[in-house]
């Protein structure tokens, strides 16, 4: 009831596209009854969770914040949702986001932008903006979002909450609407590292419905915290802190934080990372290519929105449905992706980008043979004003510079809210560790918090 009240009071933030009032209250009452018979409660008993509108919840609308899926009803649960429910969680509603998770500001939703509750003139970040604001403003305890190139960490940074993207393959993607399948990963927004760890443990693990998910046993993440006080070997990219796009106050805060880390006995070293300038182009070539293929299924025939055309021609029906159903940013990416995959340009763009991705993976392996973690700013600026950057897509793409690396390499990464900017907005530190080493990621993050 308390969370439903807050959602009602803060409706103008536009964080939720739908709230499951009655259903959530019923679920809570049922959990109360169940509780009497149990000697031990399941790990998420009564935990109030919100779901980004790209995660399938059976019998509920699933729209990817797009007109093309308006009024589409999910026919099965995402594996992560099944696991949440089995652990006693209550799903309170469906959260606003950028259309098909494409964006960095939540301004690309077909259902209007989301406002940052710290300063309502500013964006919450994206694409999982509604999920970040829900935790920020106390509308739920945790949210599930998706992170293809930063969509959990970047809005967490802008909103001052914890945002965790696990290793690619840690959590099943079954029931997550695909944007770029070799990058997509479900992520968690929470108020603390510990909360994120508890949820991670519940939703991770092998799944027959997703062949890319790892068969590895899931560590007891919750129990692993707090870890023993340990001195870590930490690297940071020289080029990341020297980057001209990085806000001066953020640079200063991160630099003095690094100094403090050294003083407290950690080894912190600057390493060369010449590939940094290539990460954003590589990311946008590969993700748009994958998106153009993934989104071809939305043709106006099988799902959702169908245009009303007079002449009954099938190609015209596809064209009209996709032109009317998809927003501008999604159309831009489908066209970019189709272009980089086209016969004449395939080798110049797609193959080249795959080669760069391989180089990044090799370099990552090499770095983690020498260091436990890499730290960086999460985003080069704090949350900007609504409308401020929406006319320049390239500028918006470039701001993904620090987050896309983890998705290209498939490694786990987290944004922890450690700082406050002179402009009054929060910002975070990004920590990354080696594949499947979420235990070190969580331990180090908690130690730094
Ligand atoms: N901002 C990035 C993009 O627009 C990241 C999106 C995401 O992680 N889903 O592609």
Other CB atoms within 10 Å distance of the CB of residue 98: 34
Strands (E), 254-299: 267-271
For the stretch 110-140, pLDDT in tens is 999 999 999 999 999 999 999 999 999 999 9
Return d(Cα 109, Cα 390) in angstroms, integer.
Answer: 12
The best mutation among 104, 187, 282 to test binding of ligand 1, ranked by most ligand atoms within 8 Å of the C-beta, falls on 104
Residue 427, CA distances (Å) to 6, 14, 43, 151, 189 in order: 24, 22, 30, 15, 15
Q: Find the 396 Cα to ligand 1 centroid distance in Å.
A: 10
For the stretch 308-359, pLDDT in tens is 988 889 999 999 999 999 999 999 999 999 999 999 999 999 999 999 999 9
pTM: 0.97
Range with the poorest average pLDDT among 188-192, 272-276, 299-303: 299-303
| Residue 236: both structure tokens together | 């940071």
pLDDT class of 283 with cuts at 50, 70, 90: very high
**Whether the CB of 379 sits within 6 Å of ligand 1:** no
Task: State ipTM.
Answer: 0.98
The best mutation among 146, 149, 287, 378 to test binding of ligand 1, ranked by most ligand atoms within 8 Å of the C-beta, falls on 149
Give CATH for domain 2-203. 3.90.1300.10
Average pLDDT of the residues in 138-166 = 98
Residue 48, CA distances (Å) to 91, 233, 317, 338 in order: 6, 37, 42, 40
Domain boundaries, the chain: 2-203
Q: Please classify residue 191 by burial: count the beta carbons closer than 10 Å to its beta carbon, then call 0-12 exposed, 13-18 middle and 19+ buried.
A: middle
**Whether the CB of 187 sits within 6 Å of ligand 1:** no
């Amino acid at each position: 009831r308390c969370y439903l009240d807050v959602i009602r009071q803060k409706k103008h933030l536009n964080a939720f596209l739908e709230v499951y009032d009655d259903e959530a209250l019923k679920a809570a009452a049922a959990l109360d009854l169940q509780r009497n018979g149990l000697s031990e409660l399941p790990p998420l008993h009564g935990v109030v969770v919100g779901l980004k509108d790209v995660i399938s919840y059976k019998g509920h609308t699933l729209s990817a914040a797009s007109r093309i899926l308006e009024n589409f009803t999910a026919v099965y649960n995402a594996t992560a949702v099944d696991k949440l429910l089995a652990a006693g969680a209550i799903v309170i509603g469906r959260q606003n986001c950028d259309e098909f998770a494409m964006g960095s500001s939540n301004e690309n939703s077909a259902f209007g932008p989301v406002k940052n509750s710290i300063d309502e003139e500013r964006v919450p970040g994206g694409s999982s903006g509604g999920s970040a604001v829900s935790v920020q403003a106390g509308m739920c305890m945790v949210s599930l979002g998706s992170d293809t190139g930063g969509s959990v960490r970047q809005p967490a940074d802008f909103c001052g909450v914890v945002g965790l993207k696990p290793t690619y393959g840690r959590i099943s993607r079954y029931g997550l609407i695909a944007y770029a399948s070799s990058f997509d990963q479900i992520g968690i927004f929470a108020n603390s590292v510990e909360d994120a760890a508890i949820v991670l443990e519940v939703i991770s693990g092998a799944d027959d419905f997703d062949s890319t998910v790892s068969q590895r046993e899931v560590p007891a993440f919750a129990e692993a915290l707090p870890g023993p006080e340990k001195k870590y070997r930490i690297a940071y990219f020289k080029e990341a802190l020297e980057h001209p796009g990085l806000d001066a106050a953020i640079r200063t805060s991160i630099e003095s934080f690094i100094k403090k880390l050294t003083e407290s006995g950690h080894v912190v070293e600057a390493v060369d990372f010449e590939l940094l300038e290539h990460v954003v182009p590589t990311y946008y070539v590969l993700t748009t290519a994958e998106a153009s293929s993934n989104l071809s299924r939305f043709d106006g025939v099988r799902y959702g929105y169908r245009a009303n055309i007079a002449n009954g021609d099938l190609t015209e029906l596809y064209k009209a449905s996709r032109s009317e159903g998809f927003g501008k940013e999604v159309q831009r990416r489908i066209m970019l992706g189709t272009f980089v995959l086209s016969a004449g340009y395939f080798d110049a763009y797609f193959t080249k980008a795959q080669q760069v991705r391989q180089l990044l993976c090799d370099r990552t392996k090499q770095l983690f043979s020498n260091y436990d973690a890499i730290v960086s700013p999460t985003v080069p600026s704090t949350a900007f004003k609504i409308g401020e950057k929406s006319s320049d897509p390239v500028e918006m793409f470039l701001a993904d510079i620090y987050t896309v690396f983890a998705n290209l390499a498939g490694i786990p990464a987290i944004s922890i809210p450690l700082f406050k900017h002179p402009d009054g907005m929060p910002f975070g530190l990004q920590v990354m560790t080696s594949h499947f080493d979420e235990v070190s990621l969580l331990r180090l993050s908690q130690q730094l918090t």
